[in-house]
Structure 1
Amino acid sequence: MNTDTESTAYAVVVNDEEQYSIWWADRQPPAGWRQTGFQGSRADCLAHVDEVWTDMRPRSLRERMVTA
């Protein structure tokens, strides 16, 4: 495993609840997570997550609040 975060490639991953994280680009995401297609440095991936993850509530909660 490469522990040099400056040269390590990361991928943005998302789960079924539309919660985002980053994962090593050269590894399969853990069960329940899938890659979004965005890859880059750790800083670039975290900046992308900040840009796209605008509502921190899980998808199931957002849907429940709309129908309530």
Structure 2
Amino acid sequence: MSLEARLLAAHAAGDRAALAGLYAEAAEAGGPGAGFFLTQAWVFALEAGLPVAEDYARQLRATGRA
């Protein structure tokens, strides 16, 4: 299943933990949307109470996005 399909399924299911991981995966692919995807990963990780949220925040700060 493609990343896009997995994202859509996770959104439909309201699975914030899965969304955090999937958006992080999209960010790792790089490209012009990487900052947006990492921000989304951070938000969903915060909403899900995942410890990885701090890692995402650290990465955002390192790129001047947080």
Fold agreement, TM-score > 0.5: no
TM-score under structure 2 length normalisation: 0.23
Greater share of residues in strand: 1
Q: Which has the larger radius of gyration?
A: 1
Q: Which is bigger in relative contact order (C-alpha 8 A, separation at least 6)?
A: 1
Greater share of residues in helix: 2
